Amino acid sequence: MRWLGCLLLLSLAGCATVRPSNPNDICSIFREKRDWYSAAKETQKKWSVPLQEPFAILYQESGFRENAKAPRKHILWVIPWGRESSAFGYAQAENDVWKSYKRQTDNSGASRENFDDAMDFMGWYMDQTQRINGVPLRDVYRQYLNYHEGWGGYRRETYERKPQVKVIARNVQARSELFGQQYAACKTELDRGFWSRLWHSL
């Protein structure tokens, strides 16, 4: 019978990390994953980051997949050979910057596959971008350019040689605006307690 218990635990663990059924609607995401909403609210409170912005970046970077990896390199366009970078997890954080995050926040047990940690990392990174390069937290277009190119790359304006990155940054901005509009329409509902939500659903 022990193996049945193990299978049950594994199945429950798998359910906990399933991607949102409607990743294009932040209200649907939060209704489906109340723990994600709690993480988003905590990040907003701790880092003063509008919660729709890190969600728009996570959508772009990993599609809300906890074990997402950077694309593979190929030799002669055919033979797989390593990865393009060490980016991994919900936030596609690379090894070095993830280590810096854990050290500076004293969060040594943080995992890139844990949604709460990924959200906290996003808040920290955006806060650092504001401190290092003077980019306001609400300027998600330039925040994303920093996220993609790194703080040094942003200062060197490496994105100017990468028109596709600028297109992606505009897409992130548009998605952030969409998520923000959606969230404004459901925030009151989401902030109700369990019994209040149950009562209003009857």
Residue 10 within any structural domain of the chain: no
Q: What are phi and psi of 80, to 5 degrees?
A: -60, 135
Residue 13 within any structural domain of the chain: no
The residue segments making up the domain with residue 189 are 26-201
Give me the percent of the chain exceeding a pLDDT of 90.
Answer: 75
Number of domains making up the chain: 1
91 within 8 A of 120, measured Cβ to Cβ: no
- At 84 the pLDDT is 59
Task: Calculate the dihedral angle through the C-alpha atoms of 155, 51, 43, 169, rounding to the nearest 10 degrees.
Answer: -20
Per-residue pLDDT of 93-136, as tens digits, reads: 999 999 999 999 999 999 999 999 999 999 999 999 999 999 99
Residue 171 within any structural domain of the chain: yes
Residue 150 within any structural domain of the chain: yes
Q: What are phi and psi of 93, to 5 degrees?
A: -75, 140
User: What is the arithmetic mean of pLDDT over 33-41?
Assistant: 97
CATH number at residue 143: 1.10.530.10
pTM, rounded to two decimals? 0.83
Residue 76 within any structural domain of the chain: yes
Residue 21 within any structural domain of the chain: no
Residue 20 within any structural domain of the chain: no
Higher pLDDT, 11 or 104: 104
8-22, 105-119, 137-151, 188-202: least confident range: 8-22
Residue 103 within any structural domain of the chain: yes
- At 194 the pLDDT is 52
Q: Which helix (H) or strand (E) holds 73?
A: strand 72-75
Alpha helices (H) along the chain: 2-16, 26-32, 34-47, 52-62, 95-105, 115-133, 140-155, 163-191, 194-201
pLDDT band at 69 (very low <50, low <70, confident <90, very high): confident
Distance CA 98, CA 121 (A): 8
